[in-house]
Amino acid sequence: MQKKNKILVIGWDAADWKVITPLIEQGKMPALQSLMARGAHGRIQTLDPPLSPMLWTSIATGVRADKHGIGGFVEPLPNGEGLRPVTTTSRKVKAIWNIFNQEGWKSNVVAWWPSNPAEPINGVMVSNLYQVANKALGEEWEMPTGTVHPEELSDSMKEFRVHPHEITLAMAIPFIPGLAENVELRKEKKTLSVLKTLANAASIHAASTFLMEEKEWDFMAVYHDAIDHFCHIAMRYYPPRRPEIPELDYENYNGVVEAGYRFHDMMLERTLSMIDENTTVVLLSDHGFHSDHQRPLYIPNEPSGPAVEHSPYGIFVIAGPGIKKGVEISGASVLDVTPTLLYHSGLAVGKDMEGKVLYQCFEQPTEANFISSWEEVPGDSGMHDEVSREDPWAAQEALQQLVELGYIDALDDDKLTQVEKCKRENAYYVARNMIHGGRFKEAIDILEKIFEESDILRYGQRLAFAYLSKKMYLKCQDVLDKMKEIDAQERIRLKQEKEANPNDPFGNEELEEPLYLEYIEGLLNLAMNKPRKALPLLEKVQEKNPNNMQLSTSIAQIHMQRKNYDLAEKQFIRALSIDNRNTTAHYGLGVSMLRTGRYENAIDELLQAIEQDFFQSTFHYHLGEALYNAGNIEEAAQAFEVCVRITPGMTKAHKWLVDIYSNKIIDDIKAEKSIQFLKNHIKGEIIVVTGVDGCDYSFFLELLKASKLEIAESSEYIENPAKHFSTDYLTGNIGKVLYISSRYLAELPAIFNYKVIYLNQQLSEILEKRKSKLNLKVPSNAAPVRILSTIEKEKFVIDTWLAAQPNQPFLMINWDELFDDIENQLNLISEFTNHELHVEDAKIFISSNL
């Protein structure tokens, strides 16, 4: 039998490239550097909310919280009379080691969160309660029941636990150099937290090296939470110092984070020395941690509030046989880890898993095998078959640690209330997880219930965002109104709290008040096509939240809608200065540059967006457009081909392909493919009359009507232009003539073909119309600059829209020529529209109406 290649998974909670990369450049993380050189690496996207027990369970199962069942940090005791840390018995699906168990693999799992009580797997499991010291140094430090499987190994595992009080000055000084001269510093709460975290990390590492060396294994998973803890304790003191940070604290604790990372690199070096070259190593984090100007100064005073310090991208490194070497990959998610490792092990991937196989990591990828679900595969998975009781003291201590870190509130006396709160909070996290997975309806049901029950503002905020995403604007407005009432009361409470703690820089909400309500109101107005109302609200929020990327991209979106490309670009650049890998900003910048004719720059930006997120068809679509305009026709064709592979129904891309394969690089077979697609999917043709606002379109439409062309009913248009872009309305007007102001051309859906007649009228005539419409009292020979620039912009919009349409039939009718030579002009229109026009009737109309 062929020897199985081993797999080693190392979890570093909250590890972030933004800290690691400079350390590697300075030669301070040599072990990670060498691992990266012999494998593939990249960012890994977290899920929302970025809470570790949920995320590490998603990493181990490939599914989100509602499916795997771990919905937060704590869960009610089975009797409902209190809380305990989340347990393995709450996990509803198989973890990867359970699947391997069924396949006869031996696994060692150390400190995974959650892993208590340890599962009866074929191998060893050491639970996440293992390292938690619940007694003073020197007292009997019992191993809680369920910490180690198999139970008989418990006694021998005890010796590898390091008590925080064992940490010596020599071990602590690399973290806090000031301890060498200031013994008093050792009594500081922050120092004690650092020492406890270091002791825990050392315990987990010692347990894992022992198991690696002494116990046979095919799969090994070790989870370290220490980087997350070091960062929550001391990232605020990480250089550079911000003015709000007390100087003395900065001096004492600015080295904690770097020392934490370097210690992990030292542990990694040891771990890697214990495996052979045929072992696949995966090193990853579940989320990142803001280390730069994005570090929040305001930590919300709510459960899981410290998670605002988490950033959306963690690290992912994979190395081993068959893995590409020294390459950077993109598009990884925490959900992809289990599917990828199953594939790498030659096992089938569950179709019910929400992640994908990261084929791009492999030198010679082949198609993965799939089964409907591993849950249906019988066999000994090594999961618990009944709920085990755990040591209440150990659980209590672990809870206390979560309280100290600020992840959960201190426990109330009223246990039942506490359990109720916990259930609601977990439901809130699961709802957020669902929203992140695009399952809004189920999330809305949960959020409506818990917001109704509790009036907790953040539940309402999330509900409002969910309504916005589902275009349920009236419901969103209702929630917003209710939140405004609650907020007024909340402000009174915050004011009182502030008065009670006037010197706490992290309790000062004025420093970075999120202004959520204004944010939601701004986004609601934006969604309801009221950019004038939305813009000032969002700009106000931006003043208070200068580092909010989404805000910058939302404001940019308004400027893009209004074709204010300069202003849009400023906002996109602002977003990129916060995170230079922001795909929305690279994409937006690319489209803006495309629309303003800077094609090479547009290509650069769009390629950067694609590098981060390959599977967005619109990125490829606009890249195709930019390449086409830059004269790179073959590459443009490739971009549109990728686009239709990702989104086969993207009509616009097929239209481009028809144009390219019919007119530029002749390929009848490929052209025919897209032609056939369009034949089957284009609903019909509509004749569009357009022009800048103020042109005599109504007279022109009457003229066409007199010529016996059918005109679309448009009485509702004036009040509600958006109605004209609905598929229903357009389907009812196939073959008819419709006026669309140039401002709205971009809204026309691609499932129809359009023939566009552009009405070109003298500028002076349009100006006069505009002035009288606006009731402007200016001398007849004066041209108001604002109106002129608006007209220029509208013309620009028409030009850019036309440039963005492949093969767009277009006819310009000059107003003056129309009346000078009506017969010829009508013949042109007749030929263009393929409709026979009644020229004589048109002439009668003109003579009786002019």
Q: Residues interacting with other proteins, by CB under 8 A?
A: 159-160, 162, 168-171, 174, 198, 202, 205-210, 213, 263, 266-267, 269-271, 273
- Return the number of the residue (135 or 664) whose C-beta is nearest other proteins: 135
For 373, list phi and psi in degrees, rounded to 5.
-165, 140
What whole-number distance in Å separates Cα of residue 260 and Cα of residue 237? Answer: 13
Q: At its nearest, how many Å lie between other proteins and the CB of residue 122?
A: 22
For 756, list phi and psi in degrees, rounded to 5.
-105, 125
Q: At its nearest, how many Å lie between other proteins and the CB of residue 230?
A: 13
**Nearest Cα to Cα of residue 613 among 310, 341, 351, 313:** 313
Strands 280-284 and 313-319: antiparallel
Residue 323 β-bridge partners: 362
Strands 148-149 and 123-126: antiparallel
Q: At its nearest, how many Å lie between other proteins and the CB of residue 332?
A: 28
What whole-number distance in Å separates Cα of residue 469 and Cα of residue 440? Answer: 8
- Return the number of the residue (156 or 417) whose C-beta is nearest other proteins: 156
Q: At its nearest, how many Å lie between other proteins and the CB of residue 7?
A: 19
- Return the number of the residue (196 or 356) whose C-beta is nearest other proteins: 196
Q: At its nearest, how many Å lie between other proteins and the CB of residue 37?
A: 21
**Nearest Cα to Cα of residue 253 among 228, 229, 235, 240:** 235
The radius of gyration of the chain from alpha carbons, rounded to an integer in Å, stands at 32
Say if CB 270 and CB 212 are below 8 A apart. Answer: no
**Nearest Cα to Cα of residue 745 among 695, 651, 808:** 808
**Nearest Cα to Cα of residue 200 among 471, 401, 412:** 401
Strands 810-814 and 280-284: unpaired
- Return the number of the residue (266 or 802) whose C-beta is nearest other proteins: 266
- Return the number of the residue (205 or 598) whose C-beta is nearest other proteins: 205
**Nearest Cα to Cα of residue 408 among 47, 74, 71:** 74
- Return the number of the residue (43 or 205) whose C-beta is nearest other proteins: 205
Other Cβ atoms less than 10 A from the Cβ of 670: the count is: 17
Q: At its nearest, how many Å lie between other proteins and the CB of residue 264?
A: 9
Q: At its nearest, how many Å lie between other proteins and the CB of residue 159?
A: 8
Sequential DSSP letters for 618-630: HHHHHHHHHHHHT
Question: Three-class SS of residue 650?
Answer: coil
Q: At its nearest, how many Å lie between other proteins and the CB of residue 2?
A: 30
Q: At its nearest, how many Å lie between other proteins and the CB of residue 263?
A: 6
Q: At its nearest, how many Å lie between other proteins and the CB of residue 34?
A: 16
For 322, list phi and psi in degrees, rounded to 5.
85, 0
Q: How many angstroms separate the first and last alpha carbons of the chain?
A: 95
- Return the number of the residue (171 or 411) whose C-beta is nearest other proteins: 171
Other Cβ atoms less than 10 A from the Cβ of 203: the count is: 23
Question: Three-class SS of residue 848?
Answer: helix
Other Cβ atoms less than 10 A from the Cβ of 401: the count is: 20
- Return the number of the residue (269 or 404) whose C-beta is nearest other proteins: 269
Question: Three-class SS of residue 551?
Answer: helix
- Return the number of the residue (249 or 269) whose C-beta is nearest other proteins: 269
Encoded tokens for 652: 């616009």
- Return the number of the residue (213 or 276) whose C-beta is nearest other proteins: 213
- Return the number of the residue (141 or 729) whose C-beta is nearest other proteins: 141
- Return the number of the residue (198 or 534) whose C-beta is nearest other proteins: 198
- Return the number of the residue (222 or 323) whose C-beta is nearest other proteins: 222
Q: At its nearest, how many Å lie between other proteins and the CB of residue 426?
A: 36
- Return the number of the residue (200 or 340) whose C-beta is nearest other proteins: 200
What whole-number distance in Å separates Cα of residue 614 and Cα of residue 612? Answer: 6
Q: At its nearest, how many Å lie between other proteins and the CB of residue 384?
A: 28
Map tokens 């390459």 to a residue.
Answer: 327
Counting Cα atoms < 13 Å in the Cβ hemisphere of 281 gives 24
What whole-number distance in Å separates Cα of residue 101 and Cα of residue 378? Answer: 11
- Return the number of the residue (229 or 598) whose C-beta is nearest other proteins: 229
What whole-number distance in Å separates Cα of residue 137 and Cα of residue 374? Answer: 45
Encoded tokens for 596: 């303003």
* Amino acid identity, position 685: E
What whole-number distance in Å separates Cα of residue 402 and Cα of residue 409? Answer: 9
- Return the number of the residue (108 or 271) whose C-beta is nearest other proteins: 271
Sequential DSSP letters for 409-466: PPPPS-HHHHHHHHHHHHHHHHHHHHHHTT-HHHHHHHHHHHHHHH--HHHHHHHHHH
DSSP tag of 663: I
Say if CB 792 and CB 785 are below 8 A apart. Answer: no
- Return the number of the residue (270 or 389) whose C-beta is nearest other proteins: 270
Question: Three-class SS of residue 321?
Answer: coil
Q: At its nearest, how many Å lie between other proteins and the CB of residue 167?
A: 9
How distant, in Å, are the alpha carbons of 58, 82, 304, 450 from that of 425?
19, 15, 10, 9
Q: At its nearest, how many Å lie between other proteins and the CB of residue 110?
A: 11
Q: At its nearest, how many Å lie between other proteins and the CB of residue 222?
A: 11
Q: At its nearest, how many Å lie between other proteins and the CB of residue 71?
A: 34
What whole-number distance in Å separates Cα of residue 714 and Cα of residue 402? Answer: 62
Q: How many helices (H) and strands (E) does the chain have?
A: 34, 19
Q: At its nearest, how many Å lie between other proteins and the CB of residue 160?
A: 5
- Return the number of the residue (274 or 776) whose C-beta is nearest other proteins: 274
* Amino acid identity, position 549: M
Q: At its nearest, how many Å lie between other proteins and the CB of residue 207?
A: 7
